[in-house]
Amino acid sequence: MSLPPLVEPAADLSIEEVRRYSRHLIIPDVGMDGQKRLKNAKVLAVGAGGLGSPVLMYLAAAGVGTLGIVEFDTVDESNLQRQIIHGQSDVGRSKAESARDSIKEINPLIDVRLHETRLDSENVLEIFADYDLIVDGTDNFATRYLVNDACVLLNKPYVWGSIYRFDGQVSVFWNEHGPNYRDLYPVPPPPGMVPSCAEGGVLGVLCATVGAIQATEAVKLITGIGDTLLGRLMVYDALEMTFREIKVRKDPEGEPITGLIDYEAFCGVVSVEAQEAAAGSTITVDELKDMMDAGKDFELIDVREPNEYEIVSIPGAKLIPKDEILSGRALSQLPNDKPIVIHCKTGVRSAEALAAVKNAGFKDAVHVQGGVTAWATRIDKALPTY
Distance between CA atoms of residues 183 and 164, nearest Å:
21
Dist CA 168 CA 207 (whole Å): 8
Torsion angles phi and psi, residue 235, rounded to 5: -115, 125
197 given a catalytic annotation:
yes
Element (H, E) at 236: strand 232-237
As a whole number of angstroms, the distance between CA 317 and CA 303 comes to 10
Q: Are 132 and 189 in contact (CB under 8 A)?
A: no
362 contacts 340 by C-beta, under 8 angstroms: yes
**Alpha carbon distance 45, 147 (integer Å):** 11
Taking alpha carbons only, the member of 53, 60, 90, 56 closest to residue 75 is: 90
Query: E strand or H helix at 23, and its extent?
Result: helix 22-25
**Which residues share a beta bridge with 45?**
69, 135
Three state DSSP letters for 55-124: HHHHHHHHCCCEEEEECCCECCHHHHHCCCCCCHHHCCCEHHHHHHHHHHHHCCCCEEEEECCCCCCCCH
Residues 352-363: b if buried by 16+ CB within 10 A, e if exposed: bbbbbbbeeebe
- Work out the burial of residue 61: count CB atoms within 10 Å of its CB; fewer than 13 is exposed, 13-18 middle, 19 or more buried: middle
8-state DSSP, 332? G
Annotation marks residue 267 as catalytic: no
Q: Which listed residue (151, 207, 267, 344) is catalytic?
A: 344
Residue type, 24: H
CA distance 43 to 137: 13
> Which of 151, 197, 207, 267 does the annotation list as catalytic?
197
Identity of residue 324? E
Distance separating alpha carbons of residues 7 and 119, to the nearest angstrom:
25
Enzyme catalytic residues = 197, 344
